[in-house]
Amino acid sequence: MNDDTIYKSEDGSEPFRFNEKVARVFPDMLQRSIPGYAASIEAIGSLAARYVRPGTTCYDLGCSLGAATIAMRHGISEPCCRVVAVDSAPAMVERCREIIAEDDRQNGPETQVDVIEGDICDIEFTNASMVVLNYTLQFVDPGARDALVQRIFDGLNKGGLLVLSEKVVDESAHMEALLVDLHHEHKRRNHYSALEIARKRVALENVLVPETVAAHRERLQRIGFSHAAVWLRYFNFVSIIAIR
């Protein structure tokens, strides 16, 4: 696993992009930047074992290097299923395909995985039993989020599951400041310098646009999900499960 040193040299003036530099260090970036990330991936495998039905399709939207895809694949216990992993970044898709191919060699392709380069807002969802948006919706234009979640809902079978993990902003300015500070402290403990943290924050401005937990829950309810709950929260990072 390559160390993430991107913002030791880059000053953050260029918007954050999922390019080749990021793809090379992405596992280290996630591990050091997102508290609770490993727990969310572990849970995705457990949820796949519980919710994926025979002959259905699962979707990993904004799949990056395929961690959630592999978790679903290994969790699925039903026959004739397929996982569709989608990302718009060519560097991520190329590396994801290599990782999936290695998983095929090591474990055998019991569940088919198709890695697609494309915009998740253009994907047609059909016969879906599970859809994962693991820290992805936050990068979608806010004006397009309702339509995307509506199309996911429409493509989910009755009883199907959406896993939505996001960085969020708190309704209280005081609590938001505290949560941001705790997150930065988490990064410092993981050996990011204050300069690296500041530079990356600037690079992500207007690229990653967070919402409140209340906004996410209201959208899910309005669109028609019968049940939704926050199952994991660590500082300003949450994971929500919603059932059609």
Task: For the chain of 244 residues, list the mean pLDDT of each consecutive stretch of 10.
Answer: 93 95 95 95 97 98 98 96 98 97 86 97 97 98 98 98 98 97 97 97 96 98 97 97 98
- pLDDT at position 59, please? 98
- Number of domains present in the structure of the chain: 1
C-alpha–C-alpha distance, residues 47 and 165, integer Å = 14
Q: Please list the residues that pair with 133 across neighbouring strands.
A: 164
C-alpha–C-alpha distance, residues 129 and 118, integer Å = 21
Q: Which domain holds residue 58?
A: 1-244
In CATH, what number is assigned to the domain containing residue 201?
Answer: 3.40.50.150
- pLDDT at position 80, please? 96
- pLDDT at position 199, please? 96
